[in-house]
Structure 1
Amino acid sequence: MTQQCSTSPNSPVIVTGAASGIGLACAEALVAAGRPVALWDISDTVIASAEKLAQTSGRACIGCVVDVASVAALRAAVVQSRAALGPIGGLVHAAGVAGVGPLDQLEPAQWDTVININLRAEIFLAQALRTDMKSLPGSAIVGIASINATLGNAMNPSYSASKGGMLAANRALADDLAQDGIRINSVSPGQIQTPMIQQ
Structure 2
Amino acid sequence: MSLPGLRDRVVVVTGAADGIGAATARLLAERGARVAGLDVDAARLEATVAQLRDAGATALGVRADVADEGSVRDALARVRADLGPIGALVNNAGVNTYFDAGRMTVEEWDGAFAVDLRGAWLCLKHALADLRAADGASVVNVASLHARLTTAGMFPYAAAKSGLVGLTRSLALDLASDGIRVNAVSPGWTRTRLVEEWLARQDDAAAAEAEVLSVHPLGRIAEPAEVGGAIAFLLSDLASAITGAELPVDGGLGARFAG
In the other structure, the counterpart of 1:67 is 65
When the two structures are superposed, what TM-score results if normalisation uses the length of structure 2? 0.71
In the other structure, the counterpart of 1:108 is 106
The Cα shift of 1:9 comes to 4.0
In the other structure, the counterpart of 1:160 is 158
Deviates more, 1:6-15 or 1:16-25: 6-15
Alignment check: 8 A CA contact 2:66 2:122 kept: no
Instruction: Give the number of aligned pairs.
Output: 193
CA distance in 2, matches of 1:137, 1:76: 24
In the other structure, the counterpart of 1:37 is 35
Asked if 1:92 is matched to 2:90, the reply is yes
CA distance in 2, matches of 1:126, 1:68: 11
Deviates more, 1:136-145 or 1:98-107: 98-107
Alignment check: 8 A CA contact 1:34 1:59 kept: yes
Q: Deviations over 1:90-141 (max 9, x none)?
A: 1111111001123234222221111111111111211111111111111100
Q: Deviations over 1:133-184 (max 9, x none)?
A: 1111111000000000111332121111110000001111001111110001
CA distance in 2, matches of 1:195, 1:158: 21
CA distance in 1, matches of 2:30, 2:66: 25
CA distance in 2, matches of 1:14, 1:147: 23
Which of 106, 119, 122 in structure 2 is aligned with 1:121?
Answer: 119
Larger Rg: 2
Please give the root-mean-square deviation of Cα atoms over the aligned residues, in Å. Answer: 1.5
When the two structures are superposed, what TM-score results if normalisation uses the length of structure 1? 0.92
CA distance in 2, matches of 1:9, 1:28: 13
Deviates more, 1:118-127 or 1:139-148: 118-127
**Distance 1:88-1:144 versus aligned 2 partners, 3 A rule:** same
CA distance in 1, matches of 2:40, 2:6: 29
Alignment check: 8 A CA contact 1:99 1:110 kept: no
In the other structure, the counterpart of 1:27 is 25
Deviates more, 1:176-185 or 1:43-52: 43-52
Matched AA of 2:85: P
Deviates more, 1:100-109 or 1:136-145: 100-109
CA distance in 2, matches of 1:126, 1:77: 13
Which of 10, 13, 38 in structure 1 is aligned with 2:11?
Answer: 13
The Cα shift of 1:26 comes to 0.6
Matched AA of 1:183: R
In the other structure, the counterpart of 1:55 is 54
Which of 135, 140, 147 in structure 1 is aligned with 2:133?
Answer: 135
In the other structure, the counterpart of 2:144 is 146
Unaligned ranges ≥5, structure 2: 199-259
Alignment check: 8 A CA contact 2:66 2:123 kept: no
Structure 1 runs, 4 residues or longer, greater than 3 Å off: 6-9
Alignment check: 8 A CA contact 1:99 1:111 kept: no
CA distance in 2, matches of 1:8, 1:63: 19
Alignment check: 8 A CA contact 1:102 1:154 kept: no
Alignment check: 8 A CA contact 1:14 1:38 kept: yes
Alignment check: 8 A CA contact 2:6 2:28 kept: no
* 3-state SS, counterpart of residue 151 of structure 1: coil
The Cα shift of 1:7 comes to 5.1
CA distance in 2, matches of 1:156, 1:74: 27
Matched AA of 1:188: S
Unaligned ranges ≥5, structure 1: 1-5
* 3-state SS, counterpart of residue 187 of structure 2: coil
